[in-house]
Structure 1
Amino acid sequence: MTIINWTQLILLKNKRLLFKLVFLSSFLALFIACSSKAEKQQADKEPIATNKEVVSFVYHRFGDSRYPSTNISLADFEAHLNYLKENGYQVLTFSDAIDYLHSSKEAKKTAVITIDDGYQSFYENGLPLLLKYDFPATLFINTESIGGADYMDWKSIKSSENNGIEIGNHTHSHAYFLNMSSEERYKEFENEISKTQQLIEKNTGKAPETFAYPYGELDEKMVQIVSDAGFKAAAAQNSGVIYSGTDLMQCPRFPMSESYAALDKFVSKAKMKALPVINRNPSSFLLTDEVLQPKLTLKVDSFPISLQQMQCFIQGTECHLETKNLPDGTVEITMSPQSAINQRRRTLYTLTVPDKDGKWYWFSQLWINPSIH
């Protein structure tokens, strides 16, 4: 072999070595970058601290007595805000409350004010009171109604956002999605979420981070669609307190309308604790006409609750309640209606119980029969 051939061979080997070194360096850099991204994603999803709770309230209309079932008087609403201010609650938007739950910040009394549908009465009557008390809130809007009779327009929505109001997704049409066939339901639901995200971002400059189910109606696949869309959290309409055991895609809220808006009722909800439910059977909350008296069984974490003072409420009928202490120290609680509830579209089961210190704990489940229109 000539000297030239030897030289070429050495250069060829060095090039191969250099190529391997470059490839290895690139691989290591990519691995480190992916690891850092994974660590960041994990950090963004730290578990909720077990000692933190958030009480959330839902309002619709303000000072509009034409619709008492969804309205609150301005005097009652201001009384609510004044109580929160005077009693040291931190009031956060819905998305900020979720961030707080995941954060290392100390536990505080925390409340969230949410408003559904975007009625003009919020902008004219509710927002000025929030500004007076320097409180933020979250407004869930259904974009098809924007600018229509009794509804806010984009200008007032943007103005609200500029004044500390988070804008959330409430779908485009605010339809009864459970009335649709399953084939149509999920396609329409997903399309409407996407359309509303685009419209809100176009008109406010920011895509929503939170969602609220129209009428509080949902099924398991709808929950998955909302989760896959990337929302921080979603609000339902069963009452209760958000805590470490809450499915953040089904956050409970206490309704506030004229029927429930008296200050003493508001205060009792603001002080409420979350009942730590380990397991719920059945997991589905959809009913059919054939299920007349659905039974709900809960396994509740062990803590010094007073079983003798436990209370059970079912809309439209009496509640039959059974409790059993289990060998592992937990409590099994079974709720069932004394009469049929299958002719109601929505029926709420509610359970309350105090502990030895007199603090009250709350759980509720909303049953839905889609065949009742």
Structure 2
Amino acid sequence: MNKLTLKAVILSVIGLGLLLPSLDAAKSNVLYKDQVAVIMYHHVDDDAKSGGTITTKLFQDQLTLLKKKGYQFITLRQFKDYMQGASVPNNAVLVTFDDGYESFYVNAYPILKSMRIPAVNFVITNDLENPLASYIPSMSRDDIIEMTSDTNFIDAQCHTHNFHYKLPDGNAALIGRMVNNGKRETDEEYKQRVITDTQACVAKLAELYPEPIDSYAYPYGIYDKTSIGYIHEGGMNYAFTVVPEMVTRQLDPMQLPRINAGNSAISPEGLDTSIMRRVVAPNPPSTEVPLIETMNQLGGKAALSSGGHVSIQYQTLQWSGSVNSSKLTSLSAKPPISIQKPLYMKNNKLYIALKDLETVIGSQIVYNPNVQSFSVQQSPTVKK
């Protein structure tokens, strides 16, 4: 019996004991509905030290706590069905890994298998040619074939074929322009380079197992509108970022957020808290909000003078208006805007319609019922 098999047997016995009490909790403890916490890992190793590495114990402890709390782990197929309109279990979590490291097969997979927790690993397929040559050893073809054939809940998807590096000018290979012999590649050459790389990743993984290869994780979390279009043309229908938010069906499937779990400083309780702080309510508690308090929550400012003058500041935007007025004048070279409902006073507080406030700051606002506050939704966001 090899070490990996023995490790899986031991963990399966432990995992069975952990699984039973969590099933009742998962049925009864509704933490959130109709959204998915996609959590992100890279390297699970007991010796390596880096910001993206956690120990096997911490990894298992995180998953164990989430199960006990009532989180329900879903497959990539379930996630894609949800994005297409299907229902999803309450407290849904999708586990993802980047980079295709061998440590996933040796250390993470036995834990996932014993606890019957689905996961997807985004693989750099060029590393399949010589898995042990990279600084951190990568999985082999046989590793991927074994995991995907032994279970119906482990997936391998694209982290590019050979774009996991940065160009001499510091740009990520996915969005930068290469220079050969002093000549910068043309827009058409760049387009073909991205499409070809994406298609190569699809082809390499399609040789290993029969599930659709249509999901992608952006290297370094860096992408732009142009690269989104080209990787979609290369076969990708879903792409994951590193923006730490919950996934809802309303988001762009090519700009899906993920919550980092793969850092040694993230305790099991810390991961639970991180997820819960990002839960969004399907509907906010009110269509109108107190302007000053809400702007403070969003990271901006609003003020009301004794004469009824109102000022609003968010990032580089500055607006000026007055109580009972539907017009706001820009102090930052923007044209004035008209809001649907005038600013008004109630119980000595200044109120604004939530939809109007979204117009003012130029972003969607979401409400977290767990911390009872509003925040600006970061997704989708692309590098200009």
Change (3 A) 1:265 1:362: farther
Q: Pick from 175, 179, 183: which aligns with 2:176?
A: 179
Q: Does residue 167 of structure 1 match 2:156?
A: yes
Secondary structure at the residue paired with 1:242?
coil
Q: Distance in 2 between matches of 1:53 and 1:323?
A: 34
Q: Does residue 358 of structure 1 match 2:358?
A: no
| Shift of residue 234, structure 1, vs aligned partner | 1.2
Secondary structure at the residue paired with 2:378?
strand
Report if aligned partners of 1:190, 1:225 keep a CA contact under 8 Å in 2.
Answer: yes
Q: Give % identity.
A: 20
Change (3 A) 1:356 1:129: closer
Q: Does residue 137 of structure 1 match 2:143?
A: no
Q: Does residue 75 of structure 1 match 2:57?
A: yes
Q: Distance in 2 between matches of 1:235 and 1:138?
A: 12
| TM score, norm. by length of structure 2 | 0.62
Superposed CA deviations along residues 335-365 of structure 1, whole A, max 9, x for unmatched, are 8xxxxxxxxxxxxx9x986448737767336
Matches within 5 A, 1:185-204: 185-204=190-209
Superposed CA deviations along residues 36-72 of structure 1, whole A, max 9, x for unmatched, are xxxxxxxxxxxxxxx6211101100002553412112
Change (3 A) 1:239 1:106: closer
Q: Distance in 1 between matches of 2:370 and 2:90?
A: 22
Unaligned runs of 5+ in 2: 1-32, 166-171, 178-184, 301-313, 320-325, 327-338, 342-352
Q: Pick from 313, 327, 330: which aligns with 2:340?
A: 327
Q: Pick from 132, 138, 145: which aligns with 1:148?
A: 132
Superposed CA deviations along residues 209-238 of structure 1, whole A, max 9, x for unmatched, are 311122221111221223334434111122
> Which residue of 2 is the match for residue 293 of structure 1?
none
| Shift of residue 191, structure 1, vs aligned partner | 0.2
Superposed CA deviations along residues 169-222 of structure 1, whole A, max 9, x for unmatched, are 111112422222544432211101111111111233444131112222111122
Change (3 A) 1:113 1:360: farther
Report if aligned partners of 1:260, 1:266 keep a CA contact under 8 Å in 2.
Answer: no
Q: Distance in 2 between matches of 1:309 and 1:93?
A: 38
Q: Distance in 2 between matches of 1:126 and 1:208?
A: 22
Report if aligned partners of 2:297, 2:373 keep a CA contact under 8 Å in 1.
Answer: no
Q: Between Structure 1 and Structure 2, whose CA radius of gyration is higher? A: 1
Task: Single out whichever of 103-112 and 51-60 deviates more from structure 2.
Answer: 103-112
Task: Single out whichever of 228-237 and 109-118 deviates more from structure 2.
Answer: 228-237
| TM score, norm. by length of structure 1 | 0.64
Task: In structure 1, give the amino acid aligned to 2:155.
Answer: E
Secondary structure at the residue paired with 1:114?
strand
Task: In structure 2, give the amino acid aligned to 1:273.
Answer: V
Report if aligned partners of 2:280, 2:369 keep a CA contact under 8 Å in 1.
Answer: no
Secondary structure at the residue paired with 2:208?
helix
Task: Single out whichever of 325-334 and 147-156 deviates more from structure 2.
Answer: 325-334
Report if aligned partners of 1:309, 1:353 keep a CA contact under 8 Å in 2.
Answer: no
Secondary structure at the residue paired with 1:139?
strand
Task: In structure 1, give the amino acid aligned to 2:222.
Answer: E
